[in-house]
Amino acid sequence: MKAFTYERASDAKAAVRAAAETPGARFIAGGTNLLDLMKLEIEQPQHLIDVSRLPMAGIEETATGGLRLGAAATNSAVSADERVRARYPVLSEAILAGGSPQLRNKASVAGNLLQRTRCAYFYDTSKPCNKRQSGSGCGALEGLNRNAAIFGASDACIATHTSDMAVALTALCADIETLTPSGDARRFPLADLHRLPGETPHIETHLIAGELITAVVLPPPPPGAQAYRKVRDRASYAGGLASVAVAGGQVALGMVAHKPWRAEAAEAALSSGASASEAIAQELAGASPLGRNDFKIPLVARLATAVITDVAGRAA
């Protein structure tokens, strides 16, 4: 691990100020992904600003009937919260499908959103990777890319976003709240947080340098049932091959793109009366598999059809 300096932030404004003023600074909360990558020297921050003890770990009701999840709340705290379990079961199920209990006890809400891809070429520092080292090329394009994206990829990067939690939050139309380096609060849809890779896969979000996520805001739950289902190579503690989150008529797919993938074509088809399988076929008409990941097309078709049908049946 490369040497770095460390400070524990006293408040959020001091944290963003320090991030703006210190070269190579990064925020750290649970650190379960960042420290792993620092050990591999894939991440090499010069300065860590610990935000894990800032007073933003609470979960509270909003005035409009939603919930505000503090950015530093642990994944375990969110998945076990009775309000989350009762009103946003898709979110609890998604979190519990990710990582191990030990990781979820440390990992934060914001850290989960900002976790890096698990693409094997990103992790292997002997291979080119435009995300790890901009301009070095993509080893996965013609490599072992079984788990690569089928939506929204580019010639520069075919990696996927691997969060389970973010897929559920996308289906729930969550917003995020941030603090900019100048100390201003802003709020925007989670759907606008992550970028598609384009030619700059090393730039993964629309956050300003030094901007701190302070909360995730859930709107009131949509009418209808909710469910999350993930397919992976073993039954527990494994990254996904594909996942689907359904909340009423809102559908998001996981591990199929550089960001949580809102299935807008499928939602539109469903709202105009299409069957679940017809609707997901509409979505998959826009997919671009690469050969080794062709299996994700029938996998997503069957997975999403099953979950959408299940949720519709439970709501009836």
Partner 1 sequence: MRTTITVNGEARSLDLDPRTTLLDTLREHLKLTGAKKGCDHGQCGACTVLVNGVRINSCLSLAVAHDGDEVVSIEGVGTVETLHPVQQAFLTHDAFQCGYCTPGQICSTLGMLDELAAGWPSQETAPGAAPVFNDAEIRERMSGNICRCSAYPQIVAAIKDAREAMA
Question: What part of residues 5-64 is at the interface with partner 1 (CB under 8 A)?
Answer: 5-6, 8, 28, 31-32, 35-36, 39, 48, 50, 52
Structure tokens at 17: 């100020």
List the one residue out of 182, 224, 213 whose CA is nearest residue 87. 224
By CB under 8 A, residue 124 contacts partner 1:
no
Q: Minimum Å distance from CB 254 to partner 1?
A: 15
CB 28 within 8 A of CB 51: yes
By CB under 8 A, residue 1 contacts partner 1:
yes
The HSE-up count of residue 169 (CA atoms within 13 Å, CB side) is 30
Pick from 21, 24, 60, 86 the residue near partner 1 by CB under 8 A: 86
List the one residue out of 159, 165, 171 whose CA is nearest residue 258. 159
Which x/- pattern, by CB under 8 A, does the window 233-262 give for partner 1? Answer: ---xx-------------------------
Q: Which amino acid type is present at position 111? A: G
- How many residues bind partner 1, per CB under 8 A? 34
Q: Which residue has the tokens 């909340």?
A: 247
List the one residue out of 71, 118, 90, 75 whose CA is nearest residue 233. 118
Which x/- pattern, by CB under 8 A, does the window 92-121 give for partner 1? Answer: xx--xx-xxxxx-xx---------------
Pick from 80, 120, 208, 265 the residue near partner 1 by CB under 8 A: 80
Q: Minimum Å distance from CB 1 to partner 1?
A: 5
Please give the angle made by the CA atoms of 56, 62 and 67, to the nearest 5 degrees: 65
- CA gap 272, 275 in Å, rounded: 9
Q: Which residues contact partner 1 by CB under 8 A?
A: 1, 3-6, 8, 28, 31-32, 35-36, 39, 48, 50, 52, 76, 79-80, 85-86, 89, 92-93, 96-97, 99-103, 105-106, 236-237
